[in-house]
């Protein structure tokens, strides 16, 4: 049996004695943590006490624990480092649940520390007691309740290891108040080695050889890339570019993977999926080899699974073995870290002197160029009313010369327009709630991003409905001088809900109108930020420039066409080659499709 977590005597002697609360701060420092997003309460007061005037760690006081978790997600996604959250027991922990689920779905590494009632009160319905490990078990990669102070440092270091390695994800460490007060032995990170957890990161070379052969004989290949490439680190994105250089294969990406490959390059087909481009979805449907790198065949990507890319062989690279063959049967699965697998694929491609099927590839590109002529992202502009697409295009045009632009979003039409039209050239610059689709994500995420990148331009492309869910974090932005820009595409509707009601529910717009909206400019004023409003297309550029120029948080109320719909669209239950390009396409939705979300 593996006894690695048993400390040797010399290590035990090296251990220092301190309180549980001090151990928490010490472990965070030993793990290189510089920022914590948190909110105090009775059950974490000893930890807050240990944090008092501590140097080297900045605590960001949020206004709601959900905001703390999203901020930590934004921090993590824009830096590649884990995000750290500290909240109290009971309501502090339950408020964190949405963020935890969001991070689990999008594989974001977070360490969330929760206070708990003292051990002798656990199970008595004590004040602010809740079963935190029970509640968060299904929405974390792993979690712990630490009942013995001598286990605390080991658990904290394991928490970092589990959150950040393999497929990343959120973890919770629940620490009863008495454990925070007790003295115990602190051990550093080196002394800890988990008993069972061994993520597989190295690819099987036989699978790599096979993958390379399949690529060399492909006539209509496509790279289908996802968030796994971003999580694997910047080197994975570099290797991806090299592989596209070597092969000249076309490439698309999920919502989560945007930025791993530069949108400016000719091989880029745009995003795949429900609101993906015509050429990306048709290439996926008609390819003879799909090379899936760090994506998971989500229903927003596949559409109707039984008609998904029917004629292709499929390679699936994922660090999580359970993703392979989960939704779509593949011909070759590779379980590995994308960076290591890509490195081997490139090495074998080069040393075995593989060549692509040049003639076939040429014909394939000709077909793709044909699809491109559809110009599926085009829209009808107006000089009297601001079209949401136009607003995003202008934001992009006026910022694209900078390489320090970070975009977060809320959830809805604005999110899809941002994904389609704001073109990313580098990884870690695009933060959106993909798997869970959490309205209210973008504003606190922007707080976290700006905290990590003080001089950068951080813009939350928002909807007027979503932004009201976590609006109070504007106050956090003010407190920490974070000049985040909240770019609200205000269509006075929960636009994505309205769009579905229009297409699927006979235009019965049940409760999707954003009534009683606040005056966002006055609201900005009340928070101490800058409020801007634009009603006409002609005002937009100057106001965007003003938004960027002012060194303060900005709420920009961009009044856009309330009836615009987001196209192209694959209706639920349809196949990739059954896209709707505009309202004129009508689109009869099957009863089965209506059942889907």
Partner 1 sequence: MHDTKVKLAADIERHTLTVLVDNEAGVLARVVGLFSGRGYNIESLTVAEVDAMARTSRITIVTSGTPAVIEQIETQLRRLVPTHKVTNWTSAKAGIEREMALVKVAGTGEKRVEALRMADAFRARPVDTTQASFVFEITGAPSKIDSFVDLMRPLGLVEISRTGVAAISRGPDAM
Ligand X SMILES: Cc1ncc(C[n+]2csc(CCOP(=O)(O)OP(=O)(O)O)c2C)c(N)n1
C-beta of 93 vs 392, nearer to partner 1? 93
CA distances from 499 to 487, 489, 507, 509, 557 (A): 21, 15, 9, 9, 21
For residues 586 and 555, give the distance between their C-alpha atoms in angstroms, rounded to a whole number: 36
Site for partner 1 in 303-342 (CB under 8 A): 320-322, 324-326, 329
C-beta of 318: minimal distance to partner 1 in Å?
11
Q: Is 197 in the site for partner 1 (CB under 8 A)?
A: yes
Site for partner 1 in 114-153 (CB under 8 A): 133-134, 137-138, 141-142, 145
C-beta of 97: minimal distance to ligand X in Å?
12
C-beta of 382: minimal distance to Mg ion in Å?
18
The entry of ligand X, Mg ion, partner 1, none that residue 210 binds, CB within 5 to 8 Å by partner kind: none
The region of 11-19, 23-31, 490-498, 521-529 touching Mg ion under the rule CB under 5 A is: 490-498
H or E segment and range at residue 181: helix 177-181
- List contacts with ligand X (CB under 6 A): 410-414, 437-439, 463-466, 489, 491, 493-497
- The angle formed by the CA atoms of residues 429, 433 and 439, to the nearest 5 degrees, is 125
Under DSSP, the state recorded for 589 is: P
- Best CA proximity match to 75, nearest among 37, 112, 106, 105: 37
The entry of ligand X, partner 1, Mg ion, none that residue 375 binds, CB within 5 to 8 Å by partner kind: none
The entry of Mg ion, partner 1, ligand X, none that residue 411 binds, CB within 5 to 8 Å by partner kind: ligand X
C-beta of 525: minimal distance to Mg ion in Å?
22
CA distances from 581 to 168, 359, 575 (A): 36, 31, 14
The label of the residue with tokens 């003080």 reads 454
For residues 73 and 409, give the distance between their C-alpha atoms in angstroms, rounded to a whole number: 13
For residues 558 and 543, give the distance between their C-alpha atoms in angstroms, rounded to a whole number: 10
C-beta of 289 vs 418, nearer to ligand X? 418
- The correct pick among 491, 499, 501, 565 for binding Mg ion (CB under 5 A) is 491
C-beta of 337 vs 564, nearer to ligand X? 564
C-beta of 514: minimal distance to ligand X in Å?
6
Q: Which residues are catalytic?
A: 65, 127-128, 177, 496
C-beta of 143 vs 450, nearer to partner 1? 143
The entry of partner 1, ligand X, Mg ion, none that residue 219 binds, CB within 5 to 8 Å by partner kind: none
Which stretches of 401-473 are DSSP H helices? 413-421, 442-452
The entry of partner 1, ligand X, Mg ion, none that residue 320 binds, CB within 5 to 8 Å by partner kind: partner 1
Given a contact cutoff of 8 angstroms between Cβ atoms, the answer to whether 74 and 445 are in contact is yes
Task: Name 447's Cβ contacts closer than 8 Å, sequence gap at least 6.
Answer: 60, 62, 67, 71, 74, 473, 476, 477, 480, 482, 484
Task: Please classify residue 103 by burial: count the beta carbons closer than 10 Å to its beta carbon, then call 0-12 exposed, 13-18 middle and 19+ buried.
Answer: buried
Residue number of the CB closest to Mg ion reads: 463
Q: At what angle do helices 65-79 and 442-452 cross, to 10 degrees?
A: 50
For residues 485 and 544, give the distance between their C-alpha atoms in angstroms, rounded to a whole number: 10
C-beta of 506: minimal distance to partner 1 in Å?
32
Concatenate the DSSP letters of all residues of 368-405 into one string.
Answer: HHHHHTT-TT-----SSSB-HHHHHHHHHHTTTT-S-E
Give Cα 578 to chain centroid, integer Å: 28
C-beta of 165: minimal distance to partner 1 in Å?
11
For residues 459 and 442, give the distance between their C-alpha atoms in angstroms, rounded to a whole number: 9
Backbone angles phi, psi at 230, to 5 degrees: -70, -45
The entry of partner 1, ligand X, Mg ion, none that residue 496 binds, CB within 5 to 8 Å by partner kind: ligand X
Compute the Cα dihedral for 24, 26, 29, 31 and give only its sign: negative
The entry of partner 1, Mg ion, ligand X, none that residue 69 binds, CB within 5 to 8 Å by partner kind: none
The entry of partner 1, ligand X, Mg ion, none that residue 163 binds, CB within 5 to 8 Å by partner kind: none
Q: Is 492 in the site for partner 1 (CB under 8 A)?
A: no
Q: Is 252 in the site for Mg ion (CB under 5 A)?
A: no
Site for Mg ion in 435-464 (CB under 5 A): 463-464
Number of residues located near partner 1, criterion CB under 8 A: 20
C-beta of 28 vs 395, nearer to Mg ion? 395
C-beta of 335 vs 524, nearer to ligand X? 524
Residues in contact with partner 1 by the rule CB under 8 A = 1, 133-134, 137-138, 141-142, 145, 162, 194-197, 320-322, 324-326, 329
Residues in contact with Mg ion by the rule CB under 5 A = 463-464, 491, 495
């Amino acid at each position: 049996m593996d006894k690695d977590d048993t400390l040797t005597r010399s290590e035990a002697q090296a251990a220092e004695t301190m309180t549980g609360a001090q151990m928490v701060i010490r472990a965070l420092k030993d793990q290189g943590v510089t920022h914590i997003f948190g909110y105090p309460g009775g059950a974490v007061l000893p930890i807050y006490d240990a944090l008092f005037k501590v140097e080297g760690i900045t605590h960001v006081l949020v206004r709601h624990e959900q905001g703390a978790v999203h901020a930590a997600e934004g921090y993590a996604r824009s830096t590649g480092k884990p995000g750290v959250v500290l909240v109290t027991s009971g309501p502090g922990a339950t408020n964190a649940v949405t963020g935890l689920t969001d991070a689990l779905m999008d594989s974001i590494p977070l360490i969330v520390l929760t206070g708990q009632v003292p051990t002798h009160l656990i199970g008595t319905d004590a004040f602010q007691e809740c079963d935190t490990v029970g509640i968060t078990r299904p929405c974390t990669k792993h979690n712990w309740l630490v009942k013995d102070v001598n286990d605390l440092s080991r658990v904290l270091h394991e928490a970092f290891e589990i959150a950040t390695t393999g497929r990343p994800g959120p973890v919770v460490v629940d620490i009863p108040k008495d454990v925070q007060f007790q003295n115990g032995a602190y051990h550093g990170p080196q002394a800890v080695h988990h008993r069972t957890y061994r993520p597989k990161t190295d690819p099987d070379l036989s699978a790599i050889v096979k993958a390379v052969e399949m690529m060399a004989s492909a006539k209509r290949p496509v790279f289908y890339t996802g968030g796994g490439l971003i999580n694997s680190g910047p080197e994975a994105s570099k290797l991806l570019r090299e592989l596209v250089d070597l092969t000249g294969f076309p490439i698309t990406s999920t919502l989560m993977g945007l930025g791993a490959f530069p949108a400016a390059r000719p091989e880029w087909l745009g995003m795949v999926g429900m609101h993906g481009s015509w050429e990306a979805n048709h290439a996926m449907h008609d390819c003879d080899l799909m090379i899936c790198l760090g994506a998971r065949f989500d229903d927003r990507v596949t559409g109707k699974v039984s008609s998904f890319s029917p004629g292709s062989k499929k390679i699936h690279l994922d660090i999580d073995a359970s993703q392979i063959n989960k939704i779509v049967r593949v011909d070759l699965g590779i379980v590995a870290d994308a960076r290591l697998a890509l490195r081997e694929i490139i090495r074998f491609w080069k040393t075995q002197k593989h060549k692509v099927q040049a003639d076939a590839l040429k014909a394939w590109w000709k077909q793709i160029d044909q699809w491109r002529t559809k110009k599926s992202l085009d829209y009808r502009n107006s000089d009297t009313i601001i079209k949401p697409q136009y607003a995003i295009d202008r934001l992009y045009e006026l910022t694209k010369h900078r390489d320090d632009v970070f975009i977060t979003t809320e959830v809805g039409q604005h999110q899809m327009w941002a994904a389609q039209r704001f073109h990313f050239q580098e990884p870690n610059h695009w933060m959106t709630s993909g798997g869970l689709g959490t309205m209210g994500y973008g504003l606190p995420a922007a707080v976290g991003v700006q905290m990590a990148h003080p001089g950068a331009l951080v813009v939350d492309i928002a909807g007027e409905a979503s932004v009201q869910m976590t609006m109070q974090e504007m106050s956090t932005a003010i407190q920490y001088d974070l000049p985040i820009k909240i770019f609200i595409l205000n269509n006075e509707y929960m636009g994505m809900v309205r769009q579905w009601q229009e297409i699927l529910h006979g235009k019965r717009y049940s409760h999707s109108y954003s009534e009683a909206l606040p005056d966002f400019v006055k609201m900005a004023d009340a928070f101490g930020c800058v409020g801007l409003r634009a009603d006409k297309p002609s005002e937009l550029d100057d106001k965007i420039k003003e938004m960027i120029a002012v060194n303060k948080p900005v709420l920009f109320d961009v009044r856009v066409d309330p009836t615009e719909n987001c196209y192209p669209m694959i209706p639920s239950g349809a196949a990739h080659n059954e896209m709707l390009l505009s309202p004129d396409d009508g689109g009869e939705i099957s009863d089965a499709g209506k059942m889907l979300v």
